Amino acid sequence: MANYIQGCARNQMFLFNTCLDDMIEEDNIIRFIDKYIETLDMEKLGFQMHDAQLSAPAYRPQLKLKIYVYGYLQRIRSSRRLEIECHRNKELIWLTEGLAPDFKTIADFRKDNHNALKNVFKNFLQFCHKLNLLAFKTVAIDGTKMRGENGLNEIYEREQIKKVEKEIQEKIDAYLKELDEADKKETEAGISINEEKVKEIMDRLNKEQKRLEKIDFIQELFEKDPELKKYFATDEDCRLQSDKGKVRAGYNPQIGVDAKEKLIIVADVTNEQNDKNQLSPMLCQVKEIKEELGIEEKTEAVADSGYFSEKQIVETAKVEDFHVVVSADAEAKGQKKDDEPDCIVEGYTLNNFTYDKEKDIFICPLGYELRKITQSPQADKNGRLTNKYQAEAEVCNNCKKKCNCTKGENGRILRVSVNYEFMLNYANSLKQEENKKIIAKRKEIVEHPFGTIKRSLGFTYFLLKGMQKVKAEFSLMCLIYNLKRVFNIMPIEELNKALTN
């Protein structure tokens, strides 16, 4: 018979010869989590505190924050699962000192303290700065897409709402008719009713009647707000987001990452479908963090072509202590420009024309002049202020290259931004070797955090509903990423020592 290691008999009586603290290793990260959270001024951070006048005692906010920090580190976000882990997980039992709040208490803590959770993220940044883990020399900005708590079947469109109402009413009528027929059979033919089937029909009928009440409510919202085209019934702040060929209801989280140790310094969320309007708001938040930490050095900020917007680039050029580099790859790939005629596929664009600043005219590739025809700048469909320049109709109509320029009979027209010279100089600056290196470095700075958040930690969707709560949950996700990153950079002993100094 093989000699295997034998366990202890389950009915064997014995006494523990170790205390709970001996079961947790000295270098276990939960010891740092425990010490760090105990150093926080919970009231100053904005956490809801227990009213001392109430007779019933409450759980300390520190305890509930420890549960969430540990849970998110272990990819456990459900409040029900966290309640279970508080009873059986020795690390959580150590963290909570044997206490186990019910799932509703745990869930309410996350729901009711959204501003405070964002403040904890900022507080940990101060700790990272104290450890000299932040430099703010280069900051990369990027966004991603995450699903919200709103299924596609809970999105209602103004044009379709009447059709949905009609379908629901038809189902209700069908169920009522089925119940009437069952009553007739029982009264006239004496056939007994199948009570289980009737109960099933009644359940379906009640469900559809509740849906009809919801549709009536949504129709009222459409009537009150003519601008409202779609209503997201589960999470009103969700919007449709396109990600890798799939369209889902969700959000567009944004991060700013410090290049030194790839720590997230800014975490925000928007429901806009692209990043065109996010560059300036993100830089303003980076500036605020720098001011809070007392950092005065100039920062290089880099973003990909998704952020390439004339309005944003002009705005960010005014932000002090920043050198902003936004890749123009999308522009260089031959995408249609605002000045390009719809009928010309590979024709002359604004880049093919030469600007004469002294005469304030444009000269086409064949040497013909386009003169300004607007008295003052006019806003185009994207809100840019532009001037129009037009060639003489006779010249264009007799030009041998007209097929490469325009099909119009009145001469080629250029719509040129008032920031034309600034943007031209900006585009030329991107060709400098220094800026090329920054753009090339962007991926390795900012895509690592999103990879960790979505793949290693498994955060691909939000549990909370509403913009403010979603922002808080994303701040919590980014706090967890920063914690995980710091644990990989520095030994636990040094981190614990830094807390006491």
Residue 495 covered by a domain: no
Range of the domain at 463: 138-146+240-328+430-469
Q: In terms of domains, do 171 and 28 share one? A: no
Instruction: Give backbone dihedrals phi and psi of 361, rounded to 5 degrees, phi first.
Output: -135, 160
Last residue of a domain, one of 232, 250, 283: 232
- pLDDT at site 344: 41
Last residue of a domain, one of 179, 208, 232: 232
The half-sphere exposure of 274 on its side-chain side, counting CA atoms within 13 A, is 8
User: 3-state class of 93 per DSSP?
Assistant: helix
Q: In terms of domains, do 142 and 248 share one? A: yes
Higher pLDDT, 76 or 189: 76
CB-CB contact of 89 with 82 (8 Å): no
pLDDT score of 257 more than 90: yes
Q: Among all chains, which residue has been given the structure tokens 């520095």?
A: 490
Could you say which DSSP state residue 151 is in?
-
Q: What is the mean pLDDT of residues 235-254?
A: 92
pLDDT score of 398 more than 50: yes
Residue 299 covered by a domain: yes
Residue 476 covered by a domain: no
Q: In terms of domains, do 271 and 402 share one? A: no
pLDDT score of 1 more than 90: no
Binned at pLDDT 50, 70 and 90, residue 51 comes out as low
pLDDT score of 345 more than 50: no
Residue 452 covered by a domain: yes
- Number of domains into which the chain is organized: 4
Q: In terms of domains, do 412 and 439 share one? A: no
Binned at pLDDT 50, 70 and 90, residue 372 comes out as very high
pLDDT score of 335 more than 60: no
Q: In terms of domains, do 279 and 214 share one? A: no
Q: In terms of domains, do 198 and 92 share one? A: no
- pLDDT at site 341: 43
Least trusted range by pLDDT, from 332-341, 410-419, 424-433, 442-451: 332-341
Higher pLDDT, 122 or 6: 122
Least trusted range by pLDDT, from 17-26, 104-113, 330-339, 437-446: 330-339
DSSP 8-45: --TT------S-GGGGS-TT-HHHHHHHHHHTS-HHHH
Distance, in Å, from the CA atom of 272 to the CA atom of 278, rounded to the nearest integer, reads 9
| Claim: this prediction has a pTM higher than 0.95 | no
Residue 2 covered by a domain: no
DSSP 245-310: TEEEEEEEEEEEEETTTTEEEEEEEE--SSSTTTHHHHHHHHHHHHHHHT--S-EEEEE-GGG--H
- pLDDT at site 197: 80
CB-CB contact of 86 with 103 (8 Å): no
Distance, in Å, from the CA atom of 148 to the CA atom of 252, rounded to the nearest integer, reads 10
Residue 10 covered by a domain: no
Q: In terms of domains, do 441 and 324 share one? A: yes
Q: Average per-residue pLDDT in the chain?
A: 88
Quick one: angle between helices 61-73 and 29-38, nearest 10? 150
Q: In terms of domains, do 378 and 312 share one? A: no
- pLDDT at site 28: 92
Distance, in Å, from the CA atom of 470 to the CA atom of 114, rounded to the nearest integer, reads 8
Distance, in Å, from the CA atom of 244 to the CA atom of 166, rounded to the nearest integer, reads 35
Structure tokens at 422: 């600034």
Distance, in Å, from the CA atom of 146 to the CA atom of 243, rounded to the nearest integer, reads 9
Distance (Å) of CA 56 to CA 49, 51, 52, 53, 100: 13, 10, 9, 9, 16
Structure tokens at 266: 């800014």
Give the Cβ contact number of residue 204 at 10 Å. Answer: 15
The overall longest dimension of the chain from CA atoms, in Å, is 106
Binned at pLDDT 50, 70 and 90, residue 2 comes out as low
Q: In terms of domains, do 406 and 458 share one? A: no
Residues with Cβ within 8 Å of residue 452, at least 6 apart in sequence: 481, 484, 485
- pLDDT at site 334: 39
Structure tokens at 176: 């009522």
- pLDDT at site 177: 85
Residue 287 covered by a domain: yes
Residue 124 covered by a domain: no
CB-CB contact of 356 with 367 (8 Å): no
- pLDDT at site 342: 41
- pLDDT at site 185: 74
Q: In terms of domains, do 458 and 324 share one? A: yes
Distance, in Å, from the CA atom of 226 to the CA atom of 156, rounded to the nearest integer, reads 14
Q: In terms of domains, do 227 and 245 share one? A: no
Q: In terms of domains, do 304 and 281 share one? A: yes
Distance (Å) of CA 297 to CA 131, 289, 294, 436, 439: 18, 13, 10, 22, 20
CATH of the domain at 253: 3.30.420
Give the distance from CA 363 to its chain's centroid: 45
- pLDDT at site 50: 75
